[in-house]
């Protein structure tokens, strides 16, 4: 990071709407450059929804730069492998070996971590940083770009001003609605459920040291351990009939049982452990080329929400945060050129994540002869093939030259 100059705290802050992983990273990265940031979070307190999250090694290029890698590694685990299993036979279809050969190739580990733990690491780092102001209970209702500054108003009518506004407010971003007015994210017809249970409660016959994905026609389950093997994280997804009404727990239980009726007994055992109280419609957006207008710019899910099949949505939000801060720091006050450079660094990479995530989603959930083809293709892959397929992603990304248009 660049050395901080003594009087930079006199600079107007950059406002960030949304204290998720992307917003916290952006605040830290800006502050490490000596740029003050004011982070506005709508929830009554900064915090995360408490499930597990997986990260590819690409995220460590950012964690190193913002100085949190050691803290993350202390809380995280590295799975023995990431395995895809056949939902009917229970046999392994393909794997990403995440042991020594992976470390040798990609320099950093593949990790699984409790989202709350990661959130707290970033939040604590923000709290220690004098250039960051954290405002919770600040649900932003809208903004005005005055040309030389931006003002945001919260639902309780407080006004905050800054040199620019970063919309890091997630897949249902209000900042995006006002900036681009391009409609809602597109649901893909699937519904997801997530649960964490103590490892001692897991009776299903599963490996507890890996990330496992069981894929079947129209449904899948992912599971992995958390907090050094003391917790077990399960996510289950299924395709709902387009004619289905909004349901309750009993309806969802019946629909899930129908979707998984031919699944392997282990999947059914995992299903019985699910808490159906929390659910989420799955969706993404078609990629777009421009995420800024004037002094307002988007990052993370607000800019490019993706399906979770590559486990890269948060990685991309975190990469965005650092990249945007680097572009702002290098632009010497020319925010428009900083935002253009940020877009040119990030649009193709994040769009590729979106498109490849859709492709992998289709592979997991395929049926009939298409499924047979995918199973054969995946089964033929060597470790070297797998690493080659992932290199564009896991090798991280670099900044492009200064944008000129």
Could you tell me which stretch among 18-26, 74-82, 213-221, 341-349 binds ligand FAD (CB under 6 A)? 18-26
- Minimum CB distance to ligand FAD smaller for 114 or for 337: 114
CB of 220 to ligand FAD, least distance (A): 11
199 binds ligand FAD (CB under 6 A): no
CB of 346 to ligand FAD, least distance (A): 13
CB of 169 to ligand FAD, least distance (A): 4
* Nearest alpha-carbon partner for 302 in 397, 221, 185, 398: 185
- Measured in whole angstroms, the distance separating CA 344 from the mean position of its chain's CA atoms is 20
* Interface characters, 277-296, with ligand FAD (x: CB under 6 A): ---x----------------
> Which of 33, 95, 174, 341 is the binder for ligand FAD (CB under 6 A)?
174
140 binds ligand FAD (CB under 6 A): yes
- Minimum CB distance to ligand FAD smaller for 194 or for 371: 194
Cβ(108)–Cβ(42) under 8 Å? no
Instruction: Quickly count: other Cβ atoms within 10 Å of residue 39's Cβ.
Output: 28
Cβ(47)–Cβ(24) under 8 Å? no
37 binds ligand FAD (CB under 6 A): no
- Minimum CB distance to ligand FAD smaller for 202 or for 221: 221
Q: What are residue 40's DSSP bridge partners?
A: 17, 135
CB neighbours of 383 closer than 8 A, spacing ≥ 6? 97, 101
Give Cα separations from 113 to 23, 227, 353 (angstroms).
19, 7, 21
| Structure token digits, residue 324 | 């945007």
Cα torsion at 374, 383, 79, 348 (round to 10°)? Answer: -70
36 binds ligand FAD (CB under 6 A): no
Q: Is 77 helix (H, G, I), strand (E, B) or coil?
A: strand
CB of 145 to ligand FAD, least distance (A): 16
Cβ(191)–Cβ(281) under 8 Å? yes
23 binds ligand FAD (CB under 6 A): yes
Give Cα separations from 305 to 313, 352, 404 (angstroms).
7, 12, 27
- Minimum CB distance to ligand FAD smaller for 206 or for 299: 299
53 binds ligand FAD (CB under 6 A): yes
109 binds ligand FAD (CB under 6 A): no
195 binds ligand FAD (CB under 6 A): no
What is the widest separation between alpha-carbon atoms in the chain? 66
* Interface characters, 298-337, with ligand FAD (x: CB under 6 A): --xxx-----x--xxxxx-x--------------------
State the number of binding residues for ligand FAD (CB under 6 A).
34
| CA-CA-CA-CA torsion sign (306, 261, 194, 73) | negative
Residues 226-285 that bind ligand FAD (CB under 6 A): 235, 280
* Nearest alpha-carbon partner for 54 in 314, 230, 284: 314
Q: Is 160 helix (H, G, I), strand (E, B) or coil?
A: strand
189 binds ligand FAD (CB under 6 A): no
By the 10 Å C-beta count (0-12 exposed, 13-18 middle, 19+ buried), 2 is classed as: exposed
Cβ(14)–Cβ(31) under 8 Å? no
* Nearest alpha-carbon partner for 328 in 132, 145, 164: 164
Could you tell me which stretch among 7-15, 165-173, 249-257, 351-359 binds ligand FAD (CB under 6 A)? 165-173
> Which of 28, 31, 40, 256 is the binder for ligand FAD (CB under 6 A)?
40
CB of 373 to ligand FAD, least distance (A): 27
CB of 175 to ligand FAD, least distance (A): 7
CB of 369 to ligand FAD, least distance (A): 29
List of residues contacting ligand FAD (CB under 6 A): 17-23, 40-43, 53-55, 139-140, 168-170, 174, 192, 194, 235, 280, 300-302, 308, 311-315, 317
């Amino acid at each position: 990071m660049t050395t901080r100059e003594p009087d930079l705290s006199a600079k107007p802050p950059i406002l960030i709407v949304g204290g998720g992983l992307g917003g916290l990273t952006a605040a830290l990265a800006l502050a490490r450059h000596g740029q003050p940031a004011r982070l506005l979070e709508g929830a009554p307190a900064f915090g995360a929804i408490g499930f597990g999250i997986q990260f590819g090694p690409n995220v460590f290029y950012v964690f190193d730069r913002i100085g949190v890698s050691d803290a993350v590694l202390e809380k995280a685990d590295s799975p023995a492998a990431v395995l895809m299993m056949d939902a009917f036979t229970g046999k392994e279809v393909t794997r990403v070996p995440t042991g020594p050969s992976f470390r040798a190739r990609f320099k950093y580990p593949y990790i699984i971590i409790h989202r709350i733990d990661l959130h707290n690491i970033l939040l604590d780092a923000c709290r220690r940083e004098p250039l960051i102001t954290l405002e919770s209970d600040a649900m932003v209702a809208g903004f005005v770009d005055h040309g030389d500054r931006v003002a945001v108003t919260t639902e309780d009518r407080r006004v905050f001003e800054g040199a620019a506004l970063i919309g890091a407010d997630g897949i249902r971003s209000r900042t995006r609605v006002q900036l681009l007015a391009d409609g809602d994210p597109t649901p893909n017809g699937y519904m997801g459920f997530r649960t964490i249970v103590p490892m001692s409660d897991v009776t299903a016959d599963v490996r507890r040291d890996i990330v496992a994905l069981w894929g079947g026609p129209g449904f899948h389950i992912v599971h992995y351990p958390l907090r050094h093997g003391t917790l077990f994280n399960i996510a289950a997804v299924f395709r709902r009939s387009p004619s289905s009404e909004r349901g309750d727990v009993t309806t969802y239980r019946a629909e899930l049982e129908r979707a998984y009726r031919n699944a392997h007994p282990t999947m059914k055992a995992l299903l019985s452990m699910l808490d159906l109280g929390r659910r989420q419609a799955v969706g993404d957006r078609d990629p777009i080329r421009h995420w800024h207008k004037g002094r307002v710019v988007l990052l993370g899910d607000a800019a490019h929400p993706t399906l979770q099949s590559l486990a890269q949505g948060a990685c991309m939000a975190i990469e965005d945060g650092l990249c945007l801060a680097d572009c702002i720091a290098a632009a010497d006050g020319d925010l428009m050129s900083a935002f253009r450079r940020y877009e040119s660094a990030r649009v193709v990479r994040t769009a590729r994540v979106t498109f490849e995530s859709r492709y992998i989603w289709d592979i997991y959930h395929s049926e009939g002869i298409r499924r047979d083809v995918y199973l054969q293709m995946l089964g033929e892959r060597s470790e070297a093939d797998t690493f080659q397929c992932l290199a564009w992603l896991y090798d991280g990304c670099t900044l492009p030259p200064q944008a000129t248009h």
